[in-house]
Amino acid sequence: MSDAKLINYSTADFATKSDMELALYKWKEVRDKIMQELKAKGLMRFTILRIWNKEGIFRLGYLFEYRDESAYKDCQEIWQQQESNVQENAPVKIFANRGIVLEDNY
Q: What is the pLDDT of residues 48-91, one digit of tens each?
A: 999 999 889 999 999 999 999 999 999 999 999 988 887 887 88
Domain membership of residue 73 (yes or no) is yes
Look at residue 85 and tell me if it is in a domain: yes
pLDDT of 1: 47
pLDDT confidence band for 18 (50 / 70 / 90): very high
For the chain, how many structural domains are there in total?
1
Q: Give the CATH number for residue 64.
A: 3.30.70.100
Q: With respect to residue 2, please indicate whether it lies within any of the assigned structural domains.
A: no
Q: Is residue 13 part of a domain?
A: no
| Domain that includes residue 79, residue range | 26-100
What are the Cα distances from residue 46, in Å, to 20, 32, 57, 91, 103?
Answer: 18, 12, 22, 22, 19
50 occurs within a structural domain: yes
Is residue 75 in some structural domain? yes
Mean pLDDT of the chain: 91
Is 21 within the bounds of a domain? no
- Full-prediction pTM beyond 0.85? yes
